[in-house]
Structure 1
Amino acid sequence: MFHDSTALDVLRGTCRLLRRAGISAVAEVSLANSRRVDLLGIDTAGRLTIVEIKISLADLRGDHKWPEYLDYCDQFFWAVPASLPLADLHTPSFRPDVTGLIVADRFDAEQLRPAALRPLNSARRRAITTALAHRAALRWHNLVDPDAAYLGQE
């Protein structure tokens, strides 16, 4: 999970923003394409949101896999600390026409740019939603029964 304190702060603030927006999120979720996203959230309408957290320019510029996430969500956001220069995130290579932008700290977050809503097809939505529910249930079970983790999965 998140071991860097800045990344953890951005995660916490971003989750608070998402929760106020009616999006319940789970951190570190593997997708069917074998990629792992920082946050995958779902709202009451079943729309899926992916958030990628970037805490440095090197981390941001070195991530070439993020376009592979776009086929697994209805909307995609970058979440960054306020200390990160935002100029790169407004360039065509980071698809500002599609990606939203969140600035966060440990206490809260602000959406600086909305993400385009690009609806998934229903079969993919169902598969992702089922996997997300399964992941969340396993994590909850591991919290209430840490000895169950040896049983596998997650």
Structure 2
Amino acid sequence: MSLDPAPVPQPNLPVDGRQSERALTVRRGTGRLLRRLGFSILPEVGLASGRRADLVALDRKGEIWIVEIKSSPEDLRADTKWPAYRLHCDRLFFATLPEVASAPFPQEAGLILTDGFEAEIVREAPTHKLAGATRKAMTLAFAQLAAGRLHLLEDPEAGKMELPAW
């Protein structure tokens, strides 16, 4: 028996090849801000509508924020689906890099600027309180996804198992 400590598994954060280095930089800085604000966060979260949110954040009071990452003005112009995210959160934000901030981000959402290390909310998002049933569904989905990802850190081979249908 070895007395050497077991290697610590490294997080396998969801990166499916669609995220550019710039988008991952925005995700890191925005995640740090949200953690400082007391949120737990999950990247790449599938929603009941079939959409996928870049970041979902949940605070101790149960408030849910969605943050859509935009790494270029072209990325913003190509996104016509962002209003649908409002159905799944109390507040909706865009997050981007300072050099992209001059793009015409919709006023109906908040705006976060980051350099990848620090971030700040430069425009607050309006609050649209979720209905109780939607909040419960989002909170349960958040917990299930977080627990599943944590389990895969502990047992990466479990990712090859077939999951039961719900």
Q: State TM-score, norm by structure 2.
A: 0.85
Cα distance per residue 1:50-105 (max 9 Å; x no partner): 0000001111000001111001000000000111142401xxxx2x1x31100012
Q: Deviations over 1:123-149 (max 9, x none)?
A: 010001101110011011111110000
Superposition map of 1:46-125 within 5 A: 46-89=62-105, 94=106, 96=107, 98-125=108-135
Per-residue deviation, residues 29-54 of structure 1 (Å, max 9, x unmatched): 00000000000010000000000000
More helix by share: 1
- Summarize deviations over 1:111-130 as a string: whole Å, max 9, x none: 10011111101001000110
How far apart are the structure 2 equivalents of 1:119 and 1:86? 29
Structure 1 position 34 matched with structure 2 position 50:
yes
Report deviation, 1:9. 0.9
Seen in structure 2, the aligned counterparts of structure 1 residues 105 and 152 have a Cα distance that, compared at 3 Å, is farther
Counterpart Cα distance in 2 of 1:129 and 1:86: 34
* Percent of aligned pairs sharing the same letter: 45
Q: Which residue of 2 is the match for residue 17 of structure 1?
A: 33
Structure 1 counterpart SS, 2:99: coil
Q: 5+ unaligned residues in a row in structure 1: which ranges?
A: none
Secondary structure at the counterpart of residue 88 of structure 1: coil
Structure 1 segments of 4+ aligned residues over 3 angstroms from their partners: none
Alignment of 1:139 with 2:141, yes or no, is: no
- Residue in 2 aligned with 1:130? 140
Q: Where does structure 2 lack aligned partners over 5 or more consecutive residues?
A: 1-14
Which amino acid letter does the alignment assign opposite residue 15 of structure 1?
A: G
CA distance in 2, matches of 1:34, 1:57: 24
Question: Paired residues, what number?
Answer: 147
Aligned equivalents of 1:100 and 1:3: distance in 2?
A: 21
Residue type of the alignment partner of 1:143: L
**What's the Cα RMSD here?**
1.2
